[in-house]
Chains A and B, each alone.
Chain A
Amino acid sequence: QVQLQESGPGLVKPSQTLSLTCTVSGGSISSDGYYWSWIRQPAGKVLEWIGRIYASGTTSYNPSLKSRLTISVDTSKSQFSLMLTSVTAADTAVYYCARNGGTYYYFENWGQGTLVTVSS
């Protein structure tokens, strides 16, 4: 059973860059057909898909965040990462990494989630 675990700072200052990493275990991040996504949920608000990456490095981003967003993958470490620049309090949320089994596919596996607070 594949497992995902988010890691990174829990506190980021406004205008700085939020960086998170998701480590995949119990399965290969390079497995054919699987995509790796970031999803977030501000307190009391809707789940928001941030973007995804394939092992080849092909990405797809939510247009609402695209100008500030970079998702990358390191297959040698079985990790993929999120960088979100110029953060504000609106970026405070629980951030999840997740796996979906195809280009247009549901999220089969999720990490536990990590709370990131944007505050000075």
Chain B
Amino acid sequence: DIVMTQSPDFLAVSLGERATINCKSSQSVLYSSNNKNYLAWYQHKPGQPPKLLIYWASTRESGVPDRFSGSGSGTDFTLTISSLQAEDVAVYYCHQYYSTPYTFGQGTKLEIK
């Protein structure tokens, strides 16, 4: 199984400041034949299902604010929120869909400082 490790586990950021969450996979999730990274990011709020934010490591889902961006390749990925808003308080998960069983990171809880 591909193990996904996020850092940090908890993050407190002031409103309007940048938030950065990292995700590392135990093996590359870059598929060489199409040069795509099989990596997604989700936002999870209590009582709601996870919401897809980013897929193919850097493609923003329709309707997701452009303050959310994804970067990285191979085994190291980053989710960045450029200017934190109050509604961004949530747990964020990375997810690899390169191989089954699909796996998720342990989550990063983002709070307002």
Total A-B Cβ pairs within 8 A = 48
Give the interface SS of chain B, mostly helix, strand, loop or mixed.
Answer: loop
Query: Does A80 belong to the interface (CB within 8 Å)?
Result: no
Whether A47 contacts B38 in the complex (CB less than 8 A), given A64-B101, A107-B50, comes out as: no
Residues facing B in A83-120 (CB within 8 A) are: 96, 98, 100, 104-108, 110-113
Residue of A nearest to B104 (CB): A47
Chain A contributes a number of interface residues (CB within 8 A of B) equal to 21
* A108 in contact with B49 (CB, 8 Å): no
Q: 10 closest pairs, A vs B, by CB?
A: A110-B49, A106-B40, A47-B104, A49-B102, A62-B101, A106-B55, A46-B106, A104-B97, A49-B101, A106-B97
Chain B residues at the A interface, C-beta cutoff of 8 Å: 38, 40, 42, 48-52, 55, 93, 95, 97-107
Chain A residues at the B interface, C-beta cutoff of 8 Å: 37, 46-49, 60, 62-64, 96, 98, 100, 104-108, 110-113
